[in-house]
Amino acid sequence: MNNFFVFHFKENIIEKVSSFIYEEFYKKGKDLSKICIVFGGKRPALFLRKSLAQKIKRSFFSPVVFSTDLFMEFIIKNDVPFLKKISNLDALFVIFNLIKEVCPKLLKDKNFVSFSCWAKEIISFLEELDLNAVEENSLKVIEEAAKIGYEVPSSINELLQNISLLRKKYHQYLKKNHLYYRGLMYLSASKKIEREGLPFFEKVILVNPFYLYKTEEKIIKKLFFENKMVIFFQTDEKRWESLKNIENLLKIRISPQKVNFSFNINLFAGFNTHSQVSFVRQILKNLPSCHNTVILLPRPENLIPLLTEISSYVKEFNVSCGYPLKRSIIYSLIKSIYTAQIEKSEQFYYAKDYLSVLTNPLVKNIRFENESAVTRVLIHKIEEHLLGMQESTINKKIFIKLEEIENEENIYFLAQDTLESIGIKIKRGNLKEIVKKLHCLFFSSLEEIENLEDFSTKLEEVLKFSFSKSLLKNYPFNLNILDKVLSILEDFKTCLLKREKIIKEDIWDLFIDALEEEVISFSGSPLKGLQILGIFEVRSLNFENVIILDLNEGVYPKLRVYEPLIPQEVFLSLGIDRIEREEEILRYNFYRLLYAKNAYLIYEEREDKERSRFIEEIVWEEERKRNRLNVL
């Protein structure tokens, strides 16, 4: 049995893996459950199982299929099943306290919240060290150089002088408390495999490896040379740097058979998001079928405009991409409450912030008296009075007390009249109680906050009430977002510093920062209908028709501009080049998709936007190949 195979981008690698398993294991009577298959992500598993089912045509015990992260987690949890991943907030707090011990100068006058941004950078650096199995000797070189001094503030040089100690103490804390984070998970897994091998499976099939961390290299090298691993590569005629590294690691040659293939690429230049999604609708209408078609969304925030444009035409589609939580109506409400609380002066709320909370759809559609119209009319009347559209004592006030609004009787008279005109009878006293309930829930209850636990409990009550009384609970998308927000609140409620004394403003800042980093994952059935995927959801998948939006510089590729606490010089001296790594991974995935039967590349053409370097590269390559200009 060969222990590695190389296929061209044009070939369906999942079908190749499926055929291999069927011929080499199933037909020879071997137990498929003793086989482990590792993909870069979770999504290909469903496609592989479907392909196997079509070949076997009867019930069977499936091979175990992992993403890389889940494979590493399986390795370390096999001996210690109660290991738990440390929460982001706890990780930041642990680092904050360790810095107090190891490098207090770095803190200066910073408290936990103001230091949390730097703590994220430190954790990111430690994770890179662990993912790449950086040895103590290499860190000693960094520490000695820091004594001479990098061109950074002295406090950062002091941190670098003690980086080994900080890493050691962080590992000790995590192990003592049966916790892990991604870097330590990979490092521990690689050490365990080097020490014990992998007795749980007879064969590991690794599919489509590309860039590898040093910890992954150690695992692959060990299993490959023990004849425990079979690797399926996918590439084209290019010499990818990451694949060269694997060639050197395993002493093999990764080169596919040459295929005759001409790209069928269609370029579309729009002027904004709506023109781009209009192109998509037209492309889909011209296809004989949307089956085996993917739309790639480099900017997940364009999902809603896309669905709005195509949903009347495409009846069956699946979405699997991360949607930014900060684009949601729930985030909008939380941000409005945050602003109202932070900007208030003693008992006075800024009228504009007050109205921003009440006019949020989650609030104004709350069902009191079994009618959301009651709340909408009531809030509309409050708005009219505050904006000066009705004569009253609160007319055009910039700052307002809640009691002043509650005591403005004309609001209830006018609301009652309007409601009666649409057939809803309600007492003015009841209307006043509704206003008081809204004020208590969305304003007063959050004025006094003692700690993170108290904050989480109160805000959770606000959100649960809003959803339980709103029609928005009927939309699964909103429920997914609510679940994510509640899980963050649960982390706040149970974290290490849950009862630490923190000022209200800092608590809100910490929470808003956590929300702004989150994305909501969609998960549907990927086996039928049009697929709408994020950048990394397409790994190892092949489609006949590929449509890619937002192919502009700064979007695809979107390369993070690192302005880290740790100077880039340190990373490079350790052999870690994050920018080069990210760009090659994105380029590899882009070129792999171009080998579809039809590829449609859409970008914005404006003075302030350049089309992606990936488009420029493919245009240049095609012009050189055909020896003429304007071939695309």
pLDDT tens column, 62-113: 999 999 999 999 999 987 778 999 999 999 999 999 999 999 999 988 899 9
pLDDT interval class at 2 (50, 70, 90): confident
- Joined tokens for residue 207: 């599919």
The percentage of residues in the chain with a pLDDT greater than 90, rounded to a whole number, is 76
SS3 314: coil
Average pLDDT over residues 589-605: 95
Q: Measure the CA–CA gap between 184 and 179, rounded to whole angstroms.
A: 9
pLDDT interval class at 371 (50, 70, 90): confident
List, as one string, the DSSP characters of 59-99.
--PPPEEEEHHHHHHHHHHTT-TT-EEPPHHHHHHHHHHHH
Specify the pLDDT at position 336: 97
pLDDT at residue 564 tops 80: no
pLDDT at residue 157 tops 90: yes
Closest CA to 147 of 136, 128, 134, 160: 160
Contact call for residues 271 and 43 (beta carbons, < 8 A): no
pLDDT at residue 6 tops 90: yes
Query: For residue 547, what are the β-bridge partners?
Result: 295, 600
Specify the pLDDT at position 629: 66
Read off the pLDDT of residues 489-521 as tens digits, 9 standing for 90 and up. Answer: 999 999 999 999 999 999 999 999 999 999 887
Average pLDDT over residues 394-398: 88
CA distances from 357 to 341, 363, 365, 536 (A): 11, 7, 12, 36
List, as one string, the DSSP characters of 436-481.
HHHHHHHTGGGT---SHHHHHHHHHHHHHHHHHTSGGGG-HHHHHH
pLDDT interval class at 486 (50, 70, 90): very high
Cβ neighbours of residue 424 under 8 Å, at least 6 residues apart?
369, 371, 373, 374
Tokens 């209830």 — which residue?
A: 412
Phi, psi of 387 (to 5 degrees): -85, 0
Specify the pLDDT at position 343: 94
- Joined tokens for residue 376: 């909408």
Q: Given CA atoms 495, 499, 502, 504 in this order, what sign does their dihedral have?
A: positive
Specify the pLDDT at position 36: 95
pLDDT at residue 597 tops 80: yes
Specify the pLDDT at position 446: 96
Q: Measure the CA–CA gap between 189 and 373, rounded to whole angstroms.
A: 58
Phi, psi of 346 (to 5 degrees): 55, -115
Q: Given CA atoms 530, 532, 535, 538 in this order, what sign does their dihedral have?
A: negative
pTM: predicted TM-score of the whole model, two decimal places: 0.91
Top pLDDT among 490 and 527 is at 490
Which helix (H) or strand (E) covers residue 4, if one does? strand 4-8
Closest CA to 330 of 467, 489, 457, 492: 467
- Gyration radius of the chain's alpha carbons: 29
- Joined tokens for residue 213: 């961390």
pLDDT at residue 476 tops 80: no
Q: Please tell me the number of Cα atoms within 13 Å of 289 on its side-chain side.
A: 6
Mean pLDDT of the chain: 92
Average pLDDT over residues 186-195: 96
Contact call for residues 88 and 518 (beta carbons, < 8 A): no
Query: For residue 323, what are the β-bridge partners?
Result: 520
Q: Measure the CA–CA gap between 542 and 293, rounded to whole angstroms.
A: 9
Specify the pLDDT at position 351: 95
Which helix (H) or strand (E) covers residue 533, if one does? strand 530-533
Specify the pLDDT at position 473: 67
Question: Could you count the other beta carbons within 10 Å of the beta carbon of residue 413?
Answer: 13
Specify the pLDDT at position 561: 63
CA distances from 89 to 120, 183, 489, 510, 559 (A): 10, 17, 11, 9, 26
Closest CA to 407 of 454, 443, 439, 376: 439
pLDDT at residue 195 tops 80: yes
Mean pLDDT is lowest, of 180-184, 292-296, 321-325, 472-476, for 472-476
Read off the pLDDT of residues 427-447 as tens digits, 9 standing for 90 and up. Answer: 999 999 999 999 999 999 999
Q: Which amino acid would we find at residue 492?
A: F
Q: Measure the CA–CA gap between 297 and 295, rounded to whole angstroms.
A: 6
Q: Measure the CA–CA gap between 130 and 143, rounded to whole angstroms.
A: 17
Question: How buried is residue 104: exposed, middle or buried, by Cβ count under 10 Å (0-12/13-18/19+)?
Answer: exposed
SS3 138: helix
CB contact burial 304-322 (16+ within 10 A = b; e otherwise): ebbeebbeeebeebbbbbb
Q: Measure the CA–CA gap between 2 and 22, rounded to whole angstroms.
A: 15
Read off the pLDDT of residues 127-156 as tens digits, 9 standing for 90 and up. Answer: 999 999 999 999 999 999 999 999 898 999
Q: Measure the CA–CA gap between 610 and 596, rounded to whole angstroms.
A: 25
Q: What is the DSSP letter of 362?
A: H
pLDDT at residue 355 tops 80: yes
Read off the pLDDT of residues 219-230 as tens digits, 9 standing for 90 and up. Answer: 999 999 999 999
Check whether the bond before 81 is cis (ω within 30° of 0): no
Phi, psi of 355 (to 5 degrees): -70, -35
**How far from chain centre, in Å, is Cα 527?**
23
- Joined tokens for residue 571: 């990373």
Average pLDDT over residues 37-51: 93
Specify the pLDDT at position 321: 82
Q: Measure the CA–CA gap between 329 and 484, rounded to whole angstroms.
A: 13
pLDDT at residue 268 tops 80: yes
Average pLDDT over residues 378-396: 90
CB contact burial 231-244 (16+ within 10 A = b; e otherwise): bbbbbbeeebebbe
